[in-house]
Amino acid sequence: MEIPLVGSSPGLVKIRSVPLVQRHHVELCAAHVGRFRAILDAGDVMSEGRVSIESGALVYHGTTSVLLLRRSLGGLLPDRDVTSLAAVLENDPHLRLRALRIAHREATARAGSPIGSAHAELRIAPGARGVIISIEVAAPVQRRHLLATATR
C-alpha cells in the first residue's frame, strides 16, 4: 500500500490543449537623466571610511550615503513619488552609475590618493525624508607613500 507524502503534488496530469496566447503586463519607464542629475547633484552626501593594510597592500573601505530629500523638506524629489522614484533609481543603470561616481569621488578624497578599480555594493530605499542611496566601496589605493598614514 502506498502512503501519500504530506504536501506532495498531485502528480502528472495530461492537459487537453495548450493555450494559444499568454499575456503579461509590463510597465516600462525611462528616467530623464538631466532632471535626475540635478536631483542627485543636490543630494546630501555623507561618507566614512579609511585606508588599511591588507596582504601588504593599501585598501580603502568605506560607505557613502546620498540622501535625496523630498521637496517638502527642501529637496528636489516630488513628495508623492518617493517610493516609485526609488524603484526607478534602483533599476536605471545610468542613474546607478552616477551614484557610483559620487561614491568613487568621495572614496578618492577620503583615501587621500587615487584608488584603483573599486568593488561597490549599492542599495536604494525610500525613507521618511526621501530616497537613501547607500554605496559600500572597497578599492586598492594606488600610491605606496601612504603606508605611514594608513597605520596611524
Whole-number Å distance between alpha carbons of 24 and 114 = 47
Q: Is the pLDDT of residue 152 over 60?
A: no
Q: What is the mean pLDDT of the chain?
A: 86
Q: Is 134 left (phi over 0), alpha (psi -120 to 50) or beta?
A: beta
Identify the residue whose cell numbers are 589605493: 141
CA distances from 111 to 87, 97, 142, 150 (A): 31, 21, 10, 9
pLDDT in tens, 39-86: 998 999 999 999 999 988 899 999 999 999 999 999 999 988 899 889
pLDDT of 148 > 60? The answer is: no
The total of other beta-carbon atoms located within 10 Å of residue 62's CB is 19
Looking at per-residue pLDDT, the higher value among 30 and 144 belongs to 30
Question: Which of 9-18, 70-79, 130-139 has the highest mean predicted lDDT (pLDDT)?
Answer: 130-139
Helices 93-111 and 82-91: angle between axes, nearest 10 degrees: 80
Res 3: pLDDT:
60
Nearest-5° angle of CA 134, CA 101, CA 27? 65
Query: How confident is the model at residue 70, as a pLDDT?
Result: 94
Quick: pLDDT tens for 99-117.
999 999 999 999 999 999 9
Q: How far is CA 67 from the centre of its chain?
A: 13
Is residue 46 within a helix (H) or strand (E), and if so which, with residue range?
strand 44-54
Coil, helix or strand for 10? coil
